[in-house]
Amino acid sequence: MSEIKLLFAGPMGAGKTTAIRAISQIEPIHTEVANTDFSESGKAETTVALDYGELVLDNGHTLRLYGSPGQRRFEFMWPLLAEGALGVVVLLDNSRADPLDDLRVFLDAFARQIGAGRVVIAVGRLDTHPQPSLDDYVEAISARGEFLPVLEVDVRRRADVTGLLDVLFDQIEAQATEAAADGGEDEWMQLVRSARPQ
């Protein structure tokens, strides 16, 4: 059996805790406290260290699901939590004041994972806040010379969250296939194939 780490990142209120809760097979561990920074978000509580959940796959492998704190004052933790992660799901909230600026912040924070092809962008609350559009996100990412999948998500729905993971694993597998064709190691390929939820 192996253990595979995935990270959910994004600004405060984007739904990291909810996404983990949607797919975790254990009661998620969370470090939420009363929110005192209402300039950042109007939610009552906020994560200050991390969220944690688990998903045990049919093959016995365990997906360890981590959620990072979203407040900028905790950004020093983001690369620490990303260390050793197979991939990163960046959740963005389209109802925030400037979600495209949020995108920029998290693209900068996870540049290393983006370079390795292990990041997917998920945008929530498009139903109530349709602007910016998904095309606007794709354009902002392309302007940086990068390509990342950008998807709409409702983090309350298990199918949406597992769908994000499928896209993330497809991307990682494509990168691993390309590396193998160039004579690279195939450990990522084996890990991705074993990590897919059944």
Convert the pLDDT of each residue in 187-196 to its tens digit.
Answer: 555 666 666 6
User: Hey, what are 108's tokens?
Assistant: 């900068």
Using CA atoms, how far apart are residues 188 and 165, in angstroms rounded to an integer?
15
pLDDT (tens digit, 9 = 90+) per residue, 21-38?
999 999 988 765 554 554
**How many domains is the chain partitioned into structurally?**
1
User: Which CATH number covers residue 166?
Assistant: 3.40.50.300
Domain that holds residue 122: 3-195
Using CA atoms, how far apart are residues 68 and 52, in angstroms rounded to an integer?
9
Prediction pTM value: 0.85
DSSP string across 54-90: EEE-TTS-EEEEEE---SGGGTTHHHHHHTT-SEEEE
Among 194, 79, 92, CA closest to 137: 92
pLDDT of 165: 93
pLDDT of 174: 85
Low pLDDT (below 50) residues in the chain: 35, 38, 41
89 forms beta bridges with 8, 120
Q: Is the peptide bond before 99 cis (omega within 30 degrees of 0)?
A: no
